[in-house]
Amino acid sequence: MRILVTGLVVFIIWAFFSAWLYNDEIRPVMNAKAEKQPTLISQTGSSDSLMKLKESMPGDLMIYFEFNKFEFNPDPQFDSKIAEMKSWLEKYSSSALLVMGYTDLVGKKEFNQELCLKRAEAVRKYLEDKGIPTTRLHLETGGIELSGDYITDEGRAKSRRSQVSIKM
């Protein structure tokens, strides 16, 4: 019987102590709003520097072509955009220009593939004439791409293009 009474007394003391500990010490800490500590993010982080590099990169140059043709008339805006790309290539020696040729969906697949390549080669030759080294130019054919509304002539005209972009 003595063991039961002692066990009951110890249990009651433990219950009061744990209730006090929870109500007066633990619960207020859990309900208190934590102050936000300012986090310092390094400005020289690799993701930040890549974002800054990407933002400073010149945008893509789009050159549109007439139906079934691969000749184009250069625009003065092309020359300023090419000058930006050329200075980028000089600044970053590991980068290159990617020239992609596209067509609309009118015509046979084989003819369109050849036309894509001719369009890309025409732009490559123009870039070489502007002083960009051949080793820094890469050609690819994008094939048929429906970038616009393929039902109307204006929509298909958006697909007849070459795209010049910087490749890192």
| Separation of alpha carbons 59 and 163, rounded Å | 10
Contact 70, 118 (CB under 8 A): yes
Contact 167, 97 (CB under 8 A): yes
At residue 105, φ and ψ (nearest 5 deg) are -90, 5
Q: What is the pLDDT along the chain (168 residues), one digit of tens a residue?
A: 899 899 999 999 999 888 888 888 888 777 776 666 665 555 555 667 778 877 778 888 888 888 888 888 888 888 889 888 988 888 888 889 999 988 888 888 888 889 889 999 999 999 999 888 889 898 888 777 666 667 778 888 888 888 888 887
Catalogue all structural domains in the chain, each as residue range(s) with its CATH number: 56-167 (3.30.1330.60)
What are 164's two structure tokens? Answer: 């010049």
| Separation of alpha carbons 168 and 113, rounded Å | 26
